[in-house]
Chain A
Amino acid sequence: GQQLNQSPQSMFIQEGEDVSMNCTSSSIFNTWLWYKQDPGEGPVLLIALYKAGELTSNGRLTAQFGITRKDSFLNISASIPSDVGIYFCAGLSLVGNQFYFGTGTSLTVIP
């Protein structure tokens, strides 16, 4: 099965800094989702993207659907301690109609 390339694998930042992470795929996707997961819990949906080039915000989070439809980006502005967790991207493949997930970006925010 396909897994998406997500980077960076981990990030350690100071509170108040901005964060950027991205996902890339060798295949074209028509939907990108971004999730946050706390330890021992299920992922929580943050942002959904449905069109190439689409830019969508949810509070301090902004995500973009790449023009090539093979990548997506998530930015977090002015990070706070509760942003700590693992962020996953998920892409919907046109073949087989399944979601595929990135390997996650672990975010640590230092107060």
Chain B
Amino acid sequence: DGGITQSPKYLFRKEGQNVTLSCEQNLNHDAMYWYRQDPGQGLRLIYYSQIVNDFQKGDIAEGYSVSREKKESFPLTVTSAQKNPTAFYLCASSIGRTGQGKQFFGSGTQLSVL
């Protein structure tokens, strides 16, 4: 099946620890995105990537890092600098460069702090 796969579904972070969330897509989409969702709020953009080896900061990039070494993969690292990491993280992709197509989402990763 084609789609976007996020893993793990649930993740726990200890104080001072970096954690990495995985996002893989087999839709052959050029653009990929990471969003953060807090209860009662809309999605906020963390990072996005239009092509391999290129990515741009979104509205809330502080405390996060990404890489785009392969077209199908866009992992997100939540660093220890992110002081309030507990949230639901969503990965998305779209067919063309940013804004040229519909966005499709993975099933999300819930990150919690121990």
Contact = CB atoms under 8 A, between A and B. Distances in A.
Nearest to A31: B99
Contacts, number: 64
B70 interface: no
Contacts of B106: 42
Contacts of A43: 43, 90, 105
B102 A48 contact: yes
Contacts of B97: 97
Interface residues of B, number: 28
B48 A98 contact: yes
Interface in A5-22: 6
Given A1-B59, A40-B110, A103 B98 contact: no
A45 B102 contact: yes
Interface string B1-38: 00010100000000000000000000000000101000
A33 interface: yes
A92 interface: yes
B60 interface: yes
B105 A1 contact: no
Contacts of A88: 42-43
A15 B106 CA distance: 30
B41 A103 contact: yes
B98 A1 contact: no
Interface of B: 4, 6, 33, 35, 40-45, 48, 58-60, 88, 90, 92, 97-99, 102-108, 110
